[in-house]
């Protein structure tokens, strides 16, 4: 569930805090990194259950209307397509999800005002109106509705952003990514999934977990080496005056160039340029791209970048080109 992009983001954030505290230790930095990643996983479970909470609130309103002194026909026989949605039913009874929420003490009970407002926002949407007006009532439509509920209602909710920021500082930048993981989970539901459906694991595999540990650890251990490389490639700049976040982004990219042989150089470049768009200044992506491109070319010409494994054909081509250029010289 935790992608390598999220790992890079969290490592960047931990390194930023680490660089500002001379008393910090690598051990504490690693603990902070995995705690931060765990909080992202927490949010995944928390959001997965949100549709259940909204549906349960809708059901409570229906029951309340039935007990009116003079209930209407609609009060007595409400449209229950939403509350009976099969995806919501699977999530409500999913043993793994419920166990995780209970173990970590996560619940929406203290935020009923938000649930109420989100429900009334949903009622006004064409998504909801068209869904309950449909006569098909099949599993595929149930799945599509919940997917769009997260895309068009949950993800667009400013109130949810504010609520999550209040609950945890670790969730400030996680909503887009976690919502995409929730939608990915919903897409994989089958009609026969039932309550034992497997939700996404913390890490896809052990390699991703090790990637998180190594990216942070190597960045700290090789900081002086990275600083020297950047200094040599920013001679027209005062490296001390380059924004700290820009330096850290470039240092992480160089670490991947040098010490992660299975990650293509172009992938690393693209990932950290994307990060700079969100975490640095407007001009930073162009600046970082120019510096890193120069660093990568020079390190390759010095045979300091060694890439191997599947999908690295382009790396070999670059290496041969550099070798030919050296021969001509």
State the distance between the two ends of the chain, measured CA to CA, in whole angstroms: 48
Residue 22 has pLDDT above 80, yes or no: no
Q: Which long-range contacts (CB under 8 A, 24 or more apart) does 288-297 make?
A: 288/246, 288/249, 288/250, 288/253, 291/230, 291/233, 291/234, 291/250, 292/250, 292/253, 292/254, 293/269, 294/233, 295/229, 295/230, 295/233, 295/250, 295/253, 295/254, 295/257, 296/257, 296/265, 296/269, 297/322
Residue 328 has pLDDT above 50, yes or no: no
Answer with the residue of higher pLDDT: 155 or 310: 155
Note the pLDDT of residue 203.
Answer: 97
Note the pLDDT of residue 238.
Answer: 67
Residue 114 has pLDDT above 80, yes or no: yes
Average pLDDT, the chain: 91
What mean pLDDT is predicted for residues 314-322? 52
E strand segments, the chain:
none
CA distance 49 to 221: 41
Asked if residue 301 lies in contact with residue 328, where contact means CB atoms within 8 angstroms, the answer is no
What mean pLDDT is predicted for residues 27-36? 97
Angstrom distances, CA of residue 33 to CA of 46, 201, 273: 20, 18, 21
Confidence of residue 236 (pLDDT cuts 50, 70, 90): confident
Q: How many helices (H) and strands (E) does the chain have?
A: 17, 0
Nearest 5°: CA angle at 49, between 43 and 52? 160
**Per CATH, which fold does 222-328 belong to?**
N-utilizing Substance Protein B Homolog; Chain A (1.10.940)
Confidence of residue 77 (pLDDT cuts 50, 70, 90): very high
Note the pLDDT of residue 327.
Answer: 36
Where is average pLDDT lowest: 48-52, 54-58, 141-145, 309-313?
309-313
What mean pLDDT is predicted for residues 97-121? 95
What mean pLDDT is predicted for residues 132-161? 95
Note the pLDDT of residue 240.
Answer: 67
CA distance 15 to 249: 10
Q: How far is CA 66 from the centre of its chain?
A: 42
Note the pLDDT of residue 319.
Answer: 52
Domain boundaries, the chain: 4-196, 222-328
Note the pLDDT of residue 311.
Answer: 55
């Amino acid at each position: 569930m935790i992608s390598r992009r999220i790992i890079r983001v969290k490592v960047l954030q931990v390194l930023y805090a680490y660089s500002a505290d001379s008393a910090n230790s690598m051990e504490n930095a690693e603990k902070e990194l995995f705690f931060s990643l765990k909080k992202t996983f927490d949010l995944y479970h928390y959001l997965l259950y949100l549709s259940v909470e909204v549906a349960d609130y809708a059901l409570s309103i229906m029951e309340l209307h039935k007990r009116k002194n003079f209930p209407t026909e609609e009060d007595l026989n409400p449209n229950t397509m939403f509350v009976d949605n099969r995806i919501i039913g699977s999530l409500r009874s999913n043993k793994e999800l419920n166990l995780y929420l209970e173990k970590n003490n996560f619940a929406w009970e203290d935020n009923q005002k938000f649930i109420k407002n989100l429900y009334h926002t949903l009622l006004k949407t064409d998504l909801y109106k068209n869904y309950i007006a449909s006569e098909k009532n099949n599993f595929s439509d149930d799945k599509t509705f919940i997917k769009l509920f997260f895309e068009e209602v949950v993800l667009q909710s400013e109130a949810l952003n504010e609520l999550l920021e209040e609950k945890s500082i670790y969730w400030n930048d996680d909503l887009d990514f976690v919502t995409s993981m929730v939608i990915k989970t919903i897409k994989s539901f089958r009609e026969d999934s039932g309550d034992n459906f497997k939700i996404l694991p913390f890490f896809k595999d052990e390699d991703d977990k090790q990637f998180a540990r190594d990216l942070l650890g190597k960045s700290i251990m090789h900081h002086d080496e990275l600083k020297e490389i950047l200094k040599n490639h920013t001679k027209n700049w005062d490296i001390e005056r380059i924004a700290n976040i820009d330096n850290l982004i470039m240092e992480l990219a160089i670490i991947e160039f040098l010490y992660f042989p299975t990650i293509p150089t172009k992938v690393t470049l693209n990932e950290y340029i994307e990060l700079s768009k969100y975490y640095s200044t407007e001009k930073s992506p162009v600046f970082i791209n120019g510096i890193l491109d120069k660093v990568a070319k020079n390190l390759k010409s010095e045979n300091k970048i060694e890439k191997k494994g599947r999908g690295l054909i382009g790396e070999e081509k670059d290496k041969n080109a550099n070798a030919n250029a050296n021969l001509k010289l």
